[in-house]
Each structure stands twice: as structure tokens, then as C-alpha cells.
Amino acid sequence: MALGGLRQRTLKSAIGCTGVGLHGGVKVSMTLRPAEARTGIVFRRVDRGGVEVRATADNVESTTMCTRLGGGVGVGTVEHLMAAFAGLGIDNAVVELDGPEVPIMDGSSAPFVFLIECAGIATQAAPRRAIRVLKTVMIDDGARYVGLSPSDGFSAAIEIAYAHPLIGRQRCEITLVDGVFKRELCRARTYGFLRDVDRLRAMGLALGGSLENAVVLDDEQVMNEGGLRYDDELVRHKVLDCIGDLYLAGAPILGHVEGLSSGHAMNLRLLKALFADLDAWCWETIGETTPAMPRWRAEPVAATA
């Protein structure tokens, strides 16, 4: 996650968009608003009387095909927006929605990066805090794994493997510095396979999915006109998803993440395993190390804008 300087950051002004939810298929309007320092990222359901849920790991209620927050509210597909906040170093924001899901837009984080940059980024007085990984924490399911190890910045090395002629085994290694998220990752779209569409829709998922908001592959080729945005777009999107999921730590992470065929469920298991081991991490604020204590349990939620 981009550190973005020593002070917390929010948006300069409110900005909105409208789109369809990937899984529910319902039109949703979203407004990003500035928030006070130490607020974190808060989702507000304006169609539910303004009820709010903070974007933290302990508020995740589901990781089936997306990351969904619960907390009595229900906000789905938060990972691409969370990745944009992480990649641009946004600490505090209120996300207002009039429906149960963040709009999918084009299936990447690029539209959210555009919105944030159009709104502008404001530096706040409060110091920025990060979570420093002190020792390796690993989730290993045999054929799949994901782990965090110590590092002075945030970097990722993710692999995927599919028995498909256009994919095979792909690896993406990236360090989030100097605008790398915007240049190298944010345009990578979510993806799926044509053979799975009927099954997913029978489960009530991907009802809003189309070639306009996802890369779709049949048994031989990419079905989207124009093909892929990058030769390795699929694995880049896996890194994007991982960045969004890990920003549910409540702060940027100083650590290196490595994974093979991991996904939302494993990413959240990794965060919970990290926080469960108080010897594995600590808070760090402008060079000062503080005792391990989850932010969303230790700090009061400031009034939101």
C-alpha cells in the first residue's frame, strides 16, 4: 500500500458515480466524501437510514466471489475501491451507497482512481500509522498459499495457475512506490470463465456481469472485443484484489505478501492470523513503534463529514 507521506489523507471534495452491481445486477449510486482524521474508511448505506460499517477485517461477513462487509449493513464487492484507496494512500473517507454493492464500473480500480484524483487529495494534521509485519505469517492449503513477511515497504508477488492455453502459470511482482498502482495495476479487470456463468447465476451471483465489466474467457480465447489490457492482466488483477483485501487491516501494511492461487477468503484468513499473533506485528507511527493493538478496537471513530 502506498504510504503517501507521513500525514493522513482524505479527499478534498465529494464526488459520485452510478453503475451496476456485479453480483446483484442492481443500479447503484455511490458518493465518496471526505472524512476527519482517524475515521478510516466507512461505508454508509443511505438507503438504510444512513447505517454505517467500517471497512475492517472483523466486519467481513462473506468472501464468496467478492469481499462483503456485514456489521448489520451489507456492502458487497468492496475490494476494487479499497485497492484504489490503498494505492493512492487515502486513510479516511466515507463511501455512501444507495444499494447493497459498490458499482463494478469496468471491473478494475481505474474508475475509482479517476474519481479520487478528480476529487483531489487533502493532507490532514494527524500522523499516519502503519502496521509493520515482524515475522512471517502463512496460510497454506497445500495447492494454494498466501503469506506476509517483514519488509520496509509494501510489495507483492502473486502467482496464478490455470489449465487454459492463454493463462497457464503467471506471476506478478510489484512494489507500491511512486505511482506504481496507477501505472501498473489499477486497469487490470476482474475475470471469469464462460463455463461458470450459468452456475454462478443460479447461485444469485454475477447477475450484473458482462463483457463491459469483466474479462471473460471461453475454453480457448478471451471473448472481450479488444482482448486483454496486459498480457498478464489476470494475475495483475489478483494482486489488485489482494491489495484491496489487505487494506481491511485498517492501515497500510509494511510487509511483503506472497501467494499462489489465493483469493479473498485466504487474504482475510491471513489478516486474522496476523492480528491473532501479537508477536507478528506492531503499530509504527513516524518512526515510533507502539504495542500491537487493532486500530478499530483501540481508537474511537471520529465524526464523519
What cell was used for 170? 503467471
CB atoms within 10 A of CB 119: 20
Q: For residue 189, give the DSSP letter.
A: P
Task: In whole angstroms, give the CA distance from residue 71 to residue 77.
Answer: 15
Element (H, E) at 234: helix 233-246
Q: Cα(first)–Cα(last) distance of the chain, in Å?
A: 24
Partnered with residue 189 across adjacent β-strands are none
Q: Which residues of 251-283 are buried (b: 16+ CB within 10 A; e: fewer)?
A: bbbbbbbbbbbbbbbbbbbbbebbbeeeebbbb
Q: Is 264 a catalytic residue?
A: yes
Given a contact cutoff of 8 angstroms between Cβ atoms, the answer to whether 149 and 255 are in contact is yes
Contacts of 226 (CB under 8 A, 6+ apart): none
Catalytic residue among 23, 237, 256, 264: 264
Residue spans of beta strands (DSSP E) within 35-80: 41-45, 51-54, 60-62, 68-69
Task: In whole angstroms, give the CA distance from residue 17 to residue 228.
Answer: 25
Distances (CA, A) of 297 to 71, 127, 275: 14, 19, 12
Q: Catalytic site residues?
A: 264
